Structure 1
């Protein structure tokens, strides 16, 4: 870039690039403007802290462009560089002030200024949980400058029996220090969580079989009509006041059973169904228009069974799956799912496994992974790839074609079918 004096006109002409860059002012050595890929621009000053070639370079952020005019920023840069000439180290002093900050204080600023304003509520909730449950008890009292890679490795290793949560904790610490570096709470690039090897996570996937789905359907119909029977604890003092055996049934709320069916018939995530509003349902076109999901805006294509479920639901409020309040979504399905899954004898099946089952039936039916990924709302093809081992139809056709060609060349069998019968020669 040509050496052009930093003026308002010049700043207005700057356009961001794929990577961050700095334009240095030709009239004042060390004064520049940093441009991030997002378009954010800040005035900075760079100087050498000390004399000699081994003296480290320091950068100080003066202010965002817009908060100061170019002339005001140049005057502030000149004042700061004058202090450097007299032996001061502004960046070092700032780092020393920040180094006195504890991880408790840094985490509070990180949540308030970065995570809550910029992340989805569920993500912010997860960050808060990880910080309060794991990070702060172990590192909270330490000053930011005193946290070492060994400290983070010790915390991560201590959670080895929970590899998923251990890796999420490592990611939160890394994000915390990346944010601290960007805002000059620590030296640029300092991150004690960097390059720590994560644990292998064995992804748990459970798919319902046809027989299990049959039992689930029967349990749902029983739950919403006569109710699911329950056995009392006869050892309790209140056992003599129990209802008669024929009255010991729990009828499940029809909105809860409808939610379970919609999860099965759409492959949607739990929150996508529980937070679904009637305003987002287009039954005429058979679509759900979700303004926000885990992957952003999303359109769900409704199947005929899903449309039938929605047609039968009464509109009692804003949300499709009515909760205790007409203006608030239902929070979870833990109790109804527990009752129904136990009655259907579905051992170890989570509510999220209904989404996996939707995908597994599609893959097993040879619909193709791209189509399944589109239905599930996956933004990355690699996410759908977990179902590749179920997509056997193309492999079966390929195996048949190869083997039949070989057997024909051998003069043995002209064709075979999957029932075991052979057309011999």
Structure 2
């Protein structure tokens, strides 16, 4: 895993893969050599995880990748995880209700750490990922043009993005920069 995965994946993805390996795959299949694992073993593990379809499918995908690499490296002739049908996943689109949003805004205004509260406010106003907000630098924001330029190394897609920002976002950033009560640098 260290040699193949770590140079190719983000640290969070490596942690997730390691967690799936340790929590689900090794306890069930760890006593077998890679060549001994059959389609039935993989199917049984996947079926045992049916109550958590999203996790079951991610685990199946990880096993498939592992076996695909073992085929590529000449350690196996087949991939026993290939063609195992994934469980249907119920996608959830979830937004805060008006009441939840109001409670969150009150909690943010009362929070003792307004720098952290402002990070969440910025996330609410822009829809950005928390990692993008936390990595943002003052020079990434052009308040005159109302644009946030996200450097490619700060985005999940590894592409520079120019995000228009609202006047409320500009106001928040200006107040933060000035060190006003909504936050400070």
Q: Identify which of 262, 265, 271 aligns with 2:122.
A: 262
Distance 2:93 2:62 in 1: 25
After superposition, residues 121-270 of structure 1 pair within 5 angstroms as: 121-187=11-77, 190-221=78-109, 223-224=110-111, 251=112, 253-270=113-130
3-state DSSP of counterpart to 1:112: coil
Deviations 1:190-239 (A, max 9, x none): 11111111111112222223344334333322x14xxxxxxxxxxxxxxx
Q: Give the TM-score, by structure 2 length.
A: 0.85
Structure 2 residues not aligned, in runs of 5+: none
Distance 1:112 1:296 in 2: 22
Structure 1 residue runs of 4 or more that deviate by more than 4 Å after TM superposition? none
- Aligned twin of 1:297: 159
Distance 2:89 2:132 in 1: 26
Deviations 1:352-382 (A, max 9, x none): xxxxxxxxxxxxxxxxxxxxxxxxxxxxxxx
Higher strand share: 1
Higher helix share: 2
Distance 1:210 1:288 in 2: 30
Deviations 1:72-96 (A, max 9, x none): xxxxxxxxxxxxxxxxxxxxxxxxx
3-state DSSP of counterpart to 1:272: helix
Are the aligned partners of 2:123 and 2:129 in contact in 1 as well (CA < 8 Å)? Answer: yes
Deviations 1:134-182 (A, max 9, x none): 1112112211110001111111111111111111000000011111111
Q: Give the TM-score, by structure 1 length.
A: 0.39
3-state DSSP of counterpart to 1:206: coil
Q: In the comparison of the two structures, how many residue pairs are matched?
A: 179
Q: Identify which of 111, 114, 117 aligns with 2:4.
A: 114
Are the aligned partners of 1:288 and 1:302 in contact in 2 as well (CA < 8 Å)? Answer: no
- Aligned twin of 1:282: 142
- Aligned twin of 2:175: 312
Distance 1:306 1:152 in 2: 49
3-state DSSP of counterpart to 2:32: coil
